[in-house]
Amino acid sequence: MSKNLPVKTQPTNDLLALADEGRELIGTLTPLKFAKGDWTKGFKDEETPVGATAQFVVDVLSYERGWVRWENKQPTFRRMGRKIDGFIQPTKNELPERDESSWPYNNRGERQDPWQETFQINLRDINAVNNDDDGLVTFTTTSWGGRKALGTVIKTYAREASKHPGCMPVVLLNSRMRPTDFGEQPTPVLKIVYWQPFGEGAAPPGAASMPAPATQPQLPTDEVLTLPTKSDQPLHKDLDDDIPF
Q: How confident is the model at residue 23 (pLDDT cuts 50, 70, 90)?
A: low
pLDDT at 240: 61
Give domain status of residue 126, yes or no: yes
Query: Strand 38-41 relative to strand 168-180: parallel, antiparallel, unpaired?
Result: unpaired
47-53, long-range: CB within 8 Å, 24+ apart, which pairs?
Answer: 50/125, 50/173, 52/172, 52/173, 52/174, 53/172
E strand segments, the chain? 30-35, 38-41, 48-49, 55-71, 74-81, 115-125, 136-141, 168-180, 183-196
Give domain status of residue 58, yes or no: yes
pLDDT at 80: 92
Give domain status of residue 166, yes or no: yes
By CB neighbour count within 10 A (0-12 exposed, 13-18 middle, 19+ buried), where does 64 fall?
Answer: buried
What's the domain count of the chain?
Answer: 1
Q: How confident is the model at residue 173 (pLDDT cuts 50, 70, 90)?
A: very high
Q: How confident is the model at residue 202 (pLDDT cuts 50, 70, 90)?
A: very high
Q: For residues 112-144, b (16+ Cβ closer than 10 Å) or e, as one string? A: bbbbbbbbbbbbbbeebeeeeebbbbbbbbbbe
> Is the pLDDT assigned to residue 98 strictly greater than 70?
yes
Least confident of 5-14, 33-42, 91-100, 133-142: 5-14
Give domain status of residue 69, yes or no: yes
> What residue numbers bound the domain in which 176 lies?
22-89+106-224
Q: Phi, psi at residue 139, to the nearest 5°? A: -100, 120
Give domain status of residue 118, yes or no: yes
pLDDT at 25: 66
Q: Of residues 49 and 10, which shows the higher confidence score? A: 49
- Among 169, 142, 141, smallest CA distance to 61 is for 169
> Is the pLDDT assigned to residue 230 strictly greater than 70?
no
> Is the pLDDT assigned to residue 177 strictly greater than 60?
yes
Cβ(203)–Cβ(122) below 8 Å: yes
Give domain status of residue 220, yes or no: yes
pLDDT at 45: 84
Cβ(175)–Cβ(145) below 8 Å: no
Give domain status of residue 17, yes or no: no
> Is the pLDDT assigned to residue 1 strictly greater than 50?
no
pLDDT digits (tens, 9 = 90+) for 127-155: 888 767 889 999 999 999 999 999 999 99
Give domain status of residue 63, yes or no: yes
Q: What is the mean pLDDT of residues 231-244?
A: 49
